[in-house]
Chains A and B, each alone.
Chain A
């Protein structure tokens, strides 16, 4: 068998012409160098194996689709592909670092579920109901501004236009509304917290 002395360019040509054995020889000849190169950057065997596999999948697809221009640079070409995949890998892990669970480290120490429990939801609903009752105790002009601002999401410009007063007056009414709400809460000694 002349495989050991067959140059890469000829093996590539044979492979493109249909010889699967030529691919086997190419991989065997260069696997250490390519895998070693990947591992020297990644330092993880499993990921290095993945990148090695992805590299050769690209090589195989390119050769089989006759898109490869043989210029006697098979190995540099393959190394370039693996280098680009390594860069892609680092870009991906930088954007989305992966945390693996170990005995000392639980994923829940950095991930938490912020959704309210049923109890939490009930408390929020009760607080909102109580707040609405308190707002009813405000003078009409202050109540109007407060409702438009907090519940209808209006700007002070819009509020002043609709109520027919200046922006400063609207701002003043809002300020008094909040001050009075605090007084009412203190007067009745209400607790309004989650």
Chain B
């Protein structure tokens, strides 16, 4: 059987972001509080 010279699509590699990125996002979400005062949003990050 002859070779198939088709280009592999980049998306087919089942790519994932780095674990550190996901971990950062979850920590960021835990630390973030958004307070709405009148028409302004205040973002508070708890350490």
Interface size for chain A: under 10, 10 to 19, 20 to 34, or 35 or more residues? Answer: 20 to 34
Residues A57 and B25 in contact in the complex (CB < 8 Å), given A48-B17, A65-B41: yes
Number of chain B residues close to chain A: CB under 8 A:
23
Whether A64 lies near B11 (C-beta < 8 A) is: no
Whether B11 lies near A31 (C-beta < 8 A) is: no
Give the residue of B17, B33, B41 whose beta carbon is less than 8 angstroms from that of A35: B17
Would you give the shortest CB distance from A50 to chain B, in whole angstroms? 8
User: Per-residue CB proximity of B18-47 to A under 8 Å, as 1/0?
Assistant: 100110111011101110100001010000
Closest to B32 in A: A64
In the bound complex, how far is the Cα of B13 from the Cα of A48, in angstroms? 14
Residues A20 and B14 in contact in the complex (CB < 8 Å), given A61-B34, A65-B41: no
Chain A residues, CB < 8 A from B21: 49, 52-53
Would you give the shortest CB distance from B40 to chain A, in whole angstroms? 10
Would you give the shortest CB distance from A171 to chain B, in whole angstroms? 65
Chain A residues, CB < 8 A from B41: 65
Would you give the shortest CB distance from B12 to chain A, in whole angstroms? 9
Chain A residues, CB < 8 A from B14: 32, 36
Chain B residues, CB < 8 A from A39: 10-11, 15
Whether B28 lies near A35 (C-beta < 8 A) is: no
Say whether chain A's binding surface is mostly helix, strand, loop, or mixed: helix
Whether A24 lies near B10 (C-beta < 8 A) is: no
Whether B26 lies near A37 (C-beta < 8 A) is: no
Would you give the shortest CB distance from B15 to chain A, in whole angstroms? 5
Chain B residues, CB < 8 A from A31: 16-17, 22
Closest to B33 in A: A64
In the bound complex, how far is the Cα of B29 from the Cα of A43, in angstroms? 28
Closest to B30 in A: A20
Closest to A50 in B: B21
Chain A residues within CB distance 8 Å of chain B: 20, 23-24, 27-28, 31-32, 35-37, 39-40, 43, 48-49, 52-53, 56-57, 60-61, 64-66
